[in-house]
């Protein structure tokens, strides 16, 4: 009896110690704002958005903090019903449109809304941001159908990042990342592939659902979940690298050292077969996207974004030397420009203007602190808003009458 009591006491002390340590770690993470509880939510059949009104504190690149709106997007509070006299522009994209690297009021969409309203007497403008990190054109198209239509937009802008959107639209090149994809059937018709989304949904057992709910309340569980996810992604990527290593090396001996799954492949003049397929799938997604928007009485604009290696020559030169490949940094934008011209898709290409601005002024439009790579910084967002505003005016895409002095 004495031994059993001692064992129970020791076990209780161990449990108490673990609870105290976990509680201390939770408190420390909360005080330091090292991270925030998970803000993402999975909506069956519709995919991922954020938890309405969830708090975010972003420090991984740049800085921002605030709350997602009541619809689960990083945007100002909006109503589904369009107010009378308001012209709505809906912007879909990835992390460039989500823009967690800057405060919300300094983001491209918020600045564009501000500029439009500063030049307008009537009507007023709303520029709604439905961007989310990691999205490609396929997921943006599905988000438009599942969420964007409810806002009854007058103009739909699809922000396209040439650095990774071609890749994100390929289930193979995106390494089986959970999401919506499109593929060609035997008749070369584009069909929606939702098998990964459906598989993920069916895997959500009760314990998994409980854990997901708990990590929305806990800094520690959110951090553990993130590390587990990154580890699993790394292991999956390693397995895929090994499985397709022979295919990769057989593509071109000159590109040894450049993974078939690297986004840099989009700059190769000799696109590997999987990348050619990704480009063709992307083109058809854009056409279907445009058709769907116009069938509902809205206008469609494809907005080409910029990558740091395209805008800042020293970054591009460094990559060229590293891989010993003559990358064509104009190629992805040229692909889009030729495609949009042939198919009557309205297209605004920001990259050349960004590069010219950098070369003329010496100002960096990507990167924060000492880094000149990565996402747009504050200057990048301001320039994008200014250039987009001018394009909308020149193309008469907005019913804008200048205010009289």
Question: How far apart are the C-alpha atoms of 275 and 353, rounded to whole Å?
Answer: 26
What integer pLDDT is reported at residue 40 of this predicted model? 87
* pLDDT 10s digits, 258-305: 999 999 999 999 999 999 999 999 999 999 999 999 999 999 999 999
Stretch 145-158: mean pLDDT, rounded?
Answer: 97
E strands, 4-85, are 40-43, 47-50, 55-58, 64-67
> 33-394: which CATH number, 3.20.20.120, 3.10.20.740, 3.30.1510.10, 3.40.50.1110?
3.40.50.1110
Burial class of residue 15 in the structure, from the number of CB atoms within 10 Å of its CB (0-12 exposed, 13-18 middle, 19+ buried) = exposed
* pLDDT 10s digits, 84-129: 999 999 999 999 999 999 999 999 999 999 999 999 987 799 999 9
What integer pLDDT is reported at residue 237 of this predicted model? 64
What integer pLDDT is reported at residue 246 of this predicted model? 46
* pLDDT 10s digits, 351-400: 999 999 999 999 999 999 989 999 999 999 999 999 999 999 999 999 98
Supply the DSSP symbol for 35. -
Question: How far apart are the C-alpha atoms of 96 and 140, rounded to whole Å?
Answer: 13
- Token pair 């891989």 is at which residue? 323
What integer pLDDT is reported at residue 136 of this predicted model? 97
SS3 19: helix
Q: Which two three-digit tokens encode residue 99?
A: 């823009």
Q: Which two three-digit tokens encode residue 337?
A: 């420009």
The closest alpha carbon to 299, from 85, 86, 89, belongs to 89
What integer pLDDT is reported at residue 220 of this predicted model? 65
Mean pLDDT score of the chain, rounded to an integer? Answer: 89
Question: How far apart are the C-alpha atoms of 258 and 9, rounded to whole Å?
Answer: 58
Question: How far apart are the C-alpha atoms of 162 and 399, rounded to whole Å?
Answer: 30
180 close to 148: Cβ distance less than 8 angstroms: no
What integer pLDDT is reported at residue 307 of this predicted model? 98
Residue 212's pLDDT band (cuts 50, 70, 90): confident
- The full DSSP string for 269-313 is SS--HHHHHHHHHHHHHHHHHHHHHHHTT-EEEEEE---HHHHSH
159 close to 125: Cβ distance less than 8 angstroms: no
* pLDDT 10s digits, 168-193: 999 999 988 999 999 999 988 999 99
Residue 153 has pLDDT above 60, yes or no: yes
What integer pLDDT is reported at residue 213 of this predicted model? 74
Return all residues near 111 (Cβ < 8 A) that are at least 6 apart. Answer: 105, 381, 382, 385
Residue 250 has pLDDT above 60, yes or no: no
3-state helix, strand, coil in the chain (%, to 5): 50, 15, 35
348 close to 387: Cβ distance less than 8 angstroms: yes
- Token pair 């895997």 is at which residue? 203
């Amino acid at each position: 009896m004495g031994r059993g009591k001692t064992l129970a006491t020791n076990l209780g002390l161990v449990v108490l110690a673990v609870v105290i340590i976990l509680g201390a770690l939770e408190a420390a993470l909360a005080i330091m704002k090292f991270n925030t509880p998970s803000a993402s939510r999975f909506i069956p059949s519709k995919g991922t958005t954020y938890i309405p009104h969830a708090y975010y504190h972003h420090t991984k690149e740049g800085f921002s903090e605030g709350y997602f709106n009541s619809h689960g997007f990083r945007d100002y509070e909006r109503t589904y019903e369009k107010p009378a006299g308001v012209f709505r522009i809906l912007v879909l994209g990835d992390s460039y449109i989500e823009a967690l690297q800057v405060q919300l009021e300094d983001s491209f969409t918020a600045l564009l809304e501000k500029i439009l309203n500063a030049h307008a007497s009537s009507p007023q403008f709303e520029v709604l941001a439905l961007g989310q990190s990691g999205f490609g054109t396929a997921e943006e198209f599905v988000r438009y159908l599942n969420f964007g239509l409810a806002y009854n937009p007058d103009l739909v802008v699809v922000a396209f990042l040439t650095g990774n959107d071609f890749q994100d639209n390929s289930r193979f090149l995106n390494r089986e990342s959970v999401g919506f994809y499109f593929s060609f059937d035997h008749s070369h018709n584009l069909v929606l592939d939702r098998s990964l989304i459906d598989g993920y949904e069916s895997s959500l057992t009760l314990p998994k659902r409980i854990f997901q709910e708990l990590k929305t309340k806990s800094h520690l569980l959110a951090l553990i979940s993130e590390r587990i996810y990154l580890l699993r992604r790394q292991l999956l990527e390693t397995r895929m690298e090994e499985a397709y290593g022979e295919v990769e090396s057989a593509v071109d001996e000159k590109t040894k050292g450049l993974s078939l799954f690297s986004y840099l492949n989009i700059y190769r003049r000799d696109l590997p077969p999987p990348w050619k397929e990704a480009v063709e799938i992307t083109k058809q997604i854009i056409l279907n996207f445009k058709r769907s928007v116009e069938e509902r009485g809205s206008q469609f604009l494809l907005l080409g974004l910029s990558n740091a290696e395209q805008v800042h020559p020293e970054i591009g030169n460094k990559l060229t030397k590293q891989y010993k490949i003559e990358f064509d940094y104009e190629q992805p934008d040229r692909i889009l420009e030729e495609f949009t011209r042939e198919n009557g898709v309205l297209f605004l290409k920001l990259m050349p203007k960004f590069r010219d601005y950098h070369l003329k002024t010496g100002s960096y439009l990507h990167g924060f602190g000492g880094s000149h790579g990565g996402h747009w910084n504050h200057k990048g967002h301001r320039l994008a808003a200014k250039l987009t505003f001018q394009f909308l005016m020149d193309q008469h895409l907005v019913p804008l009458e200048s205010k009289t002095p």
